[in-house]
Each structure stands twice: as C-alpha cells, then as structure tokens.
Amino acid sequence: MSIRNWGPVRECMSTDVTKVDGRIDVLTALKIMRKEDANSLIIKRRDENDEWGMVLFSDIARQVIAKNRAPERVNVYEIMTKPVLRVSPDMEVRYCARLFENFGISQAPVVENNEIVGMISYYAMVMHGVLPDLE
C-alpha cells in the first residue's frame, strides 16, 4: 500500500479573499458577499497585534436569522469567529483535512509571511484532490 501525495494547500487554495472592516453591519456584509461571490469574509485586523476574524453564512444563519435579529443592526464583529485557525500554504492537504476535522471547521485562511494569501476549504481539497482521478 502506498501513501498518496495529495500535495500542498497552495495547489488547491483559492486566492480570492474578501476582507472587510468588522464595524460594517451584516446586511452590508451580505451585499459584499453576493457581489464578490464569496462564501466567507475575512475581518481585517485593527493593528499588527490584532488577529483576523472570519464570518461564514452559517454564522449569519445561527446568530442573526435564528435569533431573529435585524441584519442592518448587527455588526460583523458581533458574530465573527476570532481568532481563526490559519493554515500554511505548504501544509499537506491530508493534514489540512485532519485539522479541519479535529477542530470542526470547513474553511480557513492560508497565511504566509503573516499575510493572508488565500482560503482553503473542504470543497477545494476534494475538487483538487479527488476530482482529477475521476476524469
């Protein structure tokens, strides 16, 4: 039995990253997500000692819709996940998948030299790692 080389995260990550200020309201965030065709937003750091945040559709569903809150009255910083787990672009995809499973996440920013260079998700890992074998 041989161990498959799934490759590094850098080969399958998306380089389209949408960053916003945490003070915007959720309705504005949703408009940006629709315009950018993004399924997550990175919340910018306030300074070099701060950490990045992230908002997913599931955060909006759980913390705005389910709680019957008005999206135009809720700021993104109120519902974001912060700090977020980060992934190195050189991490092997199989370890990234294990990290996601261990921490119950489905996507994460890819950070190199303390800057976000992309996003990695289960979707990207599967489409990159398994789909080529089906063709």
Please, which residues bridge with residue 118 across strands? Answer: 110
CB 24 within 8 A of CB 39: no
Q: Average of pLDDT values for 70-80?
A: 98
Taking domain 9-134, whether its CATH number is 3.40.50.300 is answered by no
pLDDT classification of 131: cutoffs 50, 70, 90: low
Give the predicted TM-score (pTM) of the model.
Answer: 0.88
Position with higher pLDDT, 57 vs 6: 57
Secondary structure of residue 118 in the 3-state scheme: strand
pLDDT single digits (tens) 92-128: 999 999 999 999 999 999 999 999 999 999 999 998 8
Q: Average of pLDDT values for 60-86?
A: 97
Domain definitions of the chain by residue range: 9-134
pLDDT single digits (tens) 23-35: 999 999 999 999 9
Q: Average of pLDDT values for 76-96?
A: 96
Q: Average of pLDDT values for 69-80?
A: 98
- CB burial class (10 A; 0-12, 13-18, 19+) of residue 128? middle
Average pLDDT of the chain, as a whole number = 93
Terminal-residue alpha carbon distance, the chain: 23
* Percentage of residues of the chain with pLDDT beyond 90: 87
Q: Average of pLDDT values for 71-94?
A: 97
Task: Tell me: pLDDT of 133 over 70.
Answer: no
Q: Would you state the pLDDT for residue 132? A: 57
